[in-house]
Homo-oligomer: A and B are copies of this chain.
Amino acid sequence: MVDTTHEMQIGELAQMCHITTRTLRYYEDIGLIEPLRRLEGGFRVYGPETLARIQHIQELKDLLGWSLEEVKGVIQAEDEVDNLRSQYRQSRTDQERLAVVKQATGVIESQLAMVSERLGRLDGMRGTLQAKLQRYGELEAELREQVRSQEGKL
């Protein structure tokens, strides 16, 4: 069960995500998120699911370097599967629901492939960095020795 107890307004949510309210409204503009509902005055009200959603968005954006437009495609596919469980859009036939799951599976698989590829390249990068660090260490030792011998001459 999702904790529906802690509702919040845009400022608090922004703080928890370490982003600005402007960014949240912008994400809403481009269809990435939506408030649970609004107060009479028009104030946006969010639940904790949105916090998780934002974090998910930031992972896709920062870790995979995707644009918000690309991110949108992915989470929309995920959303559709989530909606299969709820009564919302229960109207689909089972064949249609199967198609939705298949499509989302494809999205996740390609995402997984991308993550794996990145893991490989990052690991390669780590290797070269470690090698470079070792070379620098040796160079430093060498230079230290030279400095020492020069100090001896004083």
A106-146 vs B: 1/0 string, CB under 8 Å? 00110110011011011101100110110011011001101
A94 lies within 8 A of chain B by Cβ: yes
A143: chain B residues at CB < 8 Å are 94, 97-98, 101
Report the minimum CB–CB distance from A9 to chain B (whole Å): 29
A95 lies within 8 A of chain B by Cβ: yes
**Judging by beta carbons under 8 Å apart, are B140 and A102 in contact?**
yes
Closest to A147 in B: B94
**Judging by beta carbons under 8 Å apart, are A136 and B104 in contact?**
yes
A63 lies within 8 A of chain B by Cβ: yes
A40 lies within 8 A of chain B by Cβ: no
**Among A81, A105, A115, which residue has the most Cβ atoms of chain B within 10 A?**
A115
23 A-B residue pairs with CB within 8 Å: A81-B136, A94-B143, A94-B150, A95-B147, A97-B143, A101-B136, A101-B139, A101-B140, A102-B140, A104-B136, A105-B136, A105-B137, A108-B129, A108-B133, A108-B136, A111-B129, A112-B130, A112-B133, A115-B125, A115-B129, A118-B122, A119-B119, A119-B122
